[in-house]
Amino acid sequence: MRDRFHPPRHWPLAVAALILAAGILAVFGPSEVATNPVFGASTSLYRQVDAVTSTWPSEMGTLTELAAEALLFALAAMLAAALWWGRGDTNTLAVGLAGGAGAAASALATLAVKSVVTEERPCTAVPGVHALAECPPMGDWSFPSNHSGIAAALATAVVLASYAARRVWLCVLAAASAVVVAMLRVVSGVHYPHDVAAGLVFGASIAVAVAIALTPVTAHLLRRVGVGGRVPAGEPRY
């Protein structure tokens, strides 16, 4: 029987995810900083974290940055593992690959938002703090956190690729890793808490929207080339 392309069935969820992404930027974005209660509370929390970490040895700054980078690689490895374990199911492969594309889209979208918002790094803007890590130069903007966005998007892709197989442990591990990446960016002193919170939600939302849009196309192409052996009867599961 000739394979047919099935358009996205969950497009309302994709639209909702994009609305959430836009909403999180509106709420957490530093427009009208002087009167933004979110920004004020975030700065206060940042100062509290800095008060704790200011007594730590300088080597901890390098360690926190390396740990955040290592967790991003670990999340990519988790996604690769989820795809490998689901290689016999076309839909699992399609969802995972589309989720991976969503992670790439999230990284690009985060960089685009940074160039528009142009929020200074807290290690530059907040007087009297002692960031653990070296403060990025002016022009390397703070909002939203790109590390947090990529981590959340990769974790979302892992969850999408693992949920059907009920690998709950992998879903939990991926989600926890993304949260730890976000926390490390604040501890290292290079981000406000609202930067990483927005990055997590924004990254996950973009990943969901892109995954929903691309999964049908990806599944169609995989079936055309004979990748992924098991195809459910009837309509595709995505």
Is residue 48 domain-resident? yes
Q: pLDDT tens digit string along 183-196? A: 999 999 999 998 99
Domain housing 137: 11-225
Does residue 80 lie in a domain region? yes
In-domain check, residue 231: no
| C-beta neighbour count of 84 within 10 angstroms | 11
3-class state of residue 39 by DSSP: helix
Is the residue at 161 inside a domain? yes
User: If we measure between CA atoms, which residue out of 168, 4, 157 comes closest to residue 94?
Assistant: 157
Q: How many domains does the chain have?
A: 1
**pLDDT (tens digit, 9 = 90+) per residue, 89-117?**
777 788 888 888 988 998 898 888 888 88
Dist. CA 144–CA 111, nearest whole Å: 8
* Any domain includes 234: no
Give the pLDDT of residue 89.
Answer: 76
> Considering the domain boundaries, does residue 4 fall inside one?
no
Contact 143, 113 (CB under 8 A): yes
Asked, for residue 171, whether it belongs to a domain, the answer is yes
In a domain, 63, yes or no: yes
DSSP 8-state code for residue 134: P
| Structure token pair of residue 8 | 């996205």
Q: Which of 59, 41, 82, 232 is nearest to 171 (CA)?
A: 82
Mean pLDDT by 10 residues, the chain (238 residues): 47 62 64 58 88 87 93 95 82 84 89 86 86 86 91 92 81 95 94 91 88 81 67 45
